[in-house]
């Protein structure tokens, strides 16, 4: 008995004695914390320092998820020895254990198969983690590599997700995987999740996506999203046909960290007459840090100025974090596929709102009315430093040599 107490005491001392930084990026990312936890936003927390204070004094003890690669509540459930030592609510001890011991033991900070509306998959060898949230229609809300978050998930129009629109209607008829504009910072989405499967390094989902605008919502002063100030043309809030995806954290022919994103769009039902269907397969909204857009030139193996028909590399200015995007141009499209770039500054006076968006767009012209069409696309994303991503793009394009044009 005395011996047991001594051991417990020693462990506690080693925890308090060790200089554990409870806001280090292995366990806490202020932007992820604010975007993910609706209760934190409700408390009016909108900047990094107040997010940090909230995490240290409330969130950690509440067992909130504070970054995409670790969650105390899931960590305790994943490892019976930890649950036994700290109980299911020993969240603070779980955080401390992960930082002092768990990381070194290569333990993983999430529960296989999903937990409380959040699903995580990983390529543990490369320390890359991908997360999807029920609140965002099971779209990808987090991608962490080297303890760094790539994805902006501030509202339902961001994430790494699929969307489509029908010109000339643009945003007026715009099924969006993660949810609608009015879902905003709410804990719900008008997207209906039909199935989610998260296992190992693979996430598979099927949803009926929300329309970006609620049925017949009058759109004024937002011509950028919904052309000519019209009303939304959808008569229901949720599109009746599925968007499916399968995301795997490995790409054929590539040894670097890489995502293979397979997307499937169903076009059916009574769609207002249109001229061009545009599918984002997919689009990635990265954090405000990813301000540099370049293209990868396969013939020279170098990065060049952004060119919308060449594979793209988006990075932070210091080249430490980058994403390279490649999709074969020889997939089903009536016009060349292209890579788009968009930069949205911080419109909400909120540190997490600034975002940098890329998309891979495939287009189809008018299809016979009231018939069903399914379009599937494969897109690959290299992840790492600019140096790693350039090497990854080289291997990736080499593996897809026969699908390149020209």
Ligand X SMILES: *[C@@H]1O[C@H](CO)[C@@H](O)[C@H](O)[C@H]1NC(C)=O
Residue number with CB closer to ligand X (99 or 325) = 99
Using rule CB under 6 A, residue 366 touches ligand X: no
Q: 11, 20, 50, 341: which one contacts ligand X (CB under 6 A)?
A: 50
Cα atoms in the Cβ-side hemisphere of radius 13 Å centred on 83:
10
CA distances 321 to 31, 181, 384, 399, 401, Å, are 17, 29, 6, 23, 26
Residue 245 in contact with residue 162, Cβ under 8 Å? yes
Q: Under rule CB under 6 A, how many of the chain's residues touch ligand X?
A: 12
Q: Least distance from C-beta 318 to ligand X, angstroms? A: 15
Residues 6+ apart with CB under 8 A from 308: 338, 339, 340, 341
Q: 4, 5, 305, 369: which one contacts ligand X (CB under 6 A)?
A: 369
* Candidates 47-55, 107-115, 158-166, 394-402; binding stretch for ligand X (CB under 6 A): 47-55
**228 Rama class: left (phi>0) / alpha (psi -120 to 50) / beta:** left
Q: Least distance from C-beta 193 to ligand X, angstroms? A: 26
Using rule CB under 6 A, residue 270 touches ligand X: yes
261 backbone dihedrals φ, ψ, rounded to 5°? -110, 105
Neighbours of 112 (CB within 10 A): 15
Q: Least distance from C-beta 273 to ligand X, angstroms? A: 9
Radius of gyration, CA atoms only, the chain: 22
* Candidates 46-54, 217-225, 342-350, 397-405; binding stretch for ligand X (CB under 6 A): 46-54
* Candidates 23-31, 60-68, 302-310, 321-329; binding stretch for ligand X (CB under 6 A): 23-31
Q: Where are the extended beta strands (E) located within 47-176?
A: 118-123, 128-133, 139-145, 148-149, 160-167, 175-176
Measured CA to CA, the distance from residue 303 to residue 286 in angstroms comes to: 19
Using rule CB under 6 A, residue 23 touches ligand X: yes
Using rule CB under 6 A, residue 312 touches ligand X: no
Q: 299, 370, 371, 401: which one contacts ligand X (CB under 6 A)?
A: 370
Residue number with CB closer to ligand X (81 or 270) = 270
Using rule CB under 6 A, residue 25 touches ligand X: yes
Q: 8, 12, 17, 49: which one contacts ligand X (CB under 6 A)?
A: 49
Using rule CB under 6 A, residue 147 touches ligand X: no
Residue number with CB closer to ligand X (16 or 370) = 370
Dihedral sign of CA atoms 67, 70, 76, 81 in order:
negative
Q: Going residue by residue from 2 to 21, which x/- string records binding to ligand X, judged by CB under 6 A?
A: -------------------x
Q: 7, 12, 13, 24: which one contacts ligand X (CB under 6 A)?
A: 24
140 backbone dihedrals φ, ψ, rounded to 5°? -80, 115
48 backbone dihedrals φ, ψ, rounded to 5°? -60, -45
Measured CA to CA, the distance from residue 44 to residue 216 in angstroms comes to: 31
Residue number with CB closer to ligand X (248 or 316) = 316
Interface residue list for ligand X (CB under 6 A):
21, 23-25, 44-45, 47, 49-50, 270, 369-370
């Amino acid at each position: 008995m005395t011996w047991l107490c001594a051991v417990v005491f020693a462990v506690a001392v080693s925890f308090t004695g060790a200089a554990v930084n409870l806001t280090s990026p292995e366990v806490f990312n202020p932007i992820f914390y604010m975007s993910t936890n609706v209760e934190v936003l409700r408390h009016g927390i909108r900047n990094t320092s107040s997010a940090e204070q909230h995490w240290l004094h409330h969130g950690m003890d509440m067992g909130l998820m504070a970054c995409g690669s670790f969650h105390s509540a899931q960590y305790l459930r994943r490892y019976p020895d930890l649950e036994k030592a700290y109980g299911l609510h020993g969240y603070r001890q779980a955080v401390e254990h992960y930082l002092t011991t768990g990381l070194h033991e290569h333990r993983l900070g999430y529960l296989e198969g999903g937990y409380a509306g959040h699903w995580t998959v990983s390529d543990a060898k490369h320390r890359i983690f991908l997360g999807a949230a029920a609140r965002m229609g099971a779209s990808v809300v987090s991608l962490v590599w080297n303890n760094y978050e790539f994805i902006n998930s501030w509202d339902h129009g961001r994430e790494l997700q699929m969307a489509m629109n029908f010109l000339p209607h643009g945003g007026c008829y715009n099924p969006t995987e993660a949810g609608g504009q009015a879902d905003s910072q709410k804990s719900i989405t008008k997207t209906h999740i039909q199935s989610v499967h998260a296992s190992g390094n693979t996430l598979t989902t099927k949803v009926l996506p929300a329309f970006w605008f609620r049925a017949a919502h009058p759109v004024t002063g937002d011509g950028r999203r919904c052309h000519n100030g019209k009303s939304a043309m959808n008569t229901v809030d949720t599109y009746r046909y599925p968007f499916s995806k399968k995301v795997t954290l490995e790409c054929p022919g590539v040894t670097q960290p890489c995502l293979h994103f397979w997307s499937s769009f169903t076009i059916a039902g009574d769609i207002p007459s249109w001229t061009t269907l545009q599918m984002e397969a997919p689009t990635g909204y990265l954090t405000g840090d990813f301000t540099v857009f370049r293209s990868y030139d396969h013939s020279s193996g170098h990065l060049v100025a952004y060119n919308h028909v060449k594979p793209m590399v988006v990075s932070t200015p210091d080249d430490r974090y980058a994403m390279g995007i490649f999709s074969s141009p020889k997939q089903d499209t009536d016009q060349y596929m292209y890579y788009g770039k968009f930069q949205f500054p911080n419109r909400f006076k909120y540190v997490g709102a600034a975002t940098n968006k890329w998309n891979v767009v495939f287009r189809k012209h008018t299809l016979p009315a009231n018939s069903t069409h399914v379009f599937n696309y494969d897109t690959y994303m290299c992840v790492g430093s600019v140096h790693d991503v350039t090497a990854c793009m080289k291997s990736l394009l080499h593996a897809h040599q026969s699908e390149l044009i020209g």
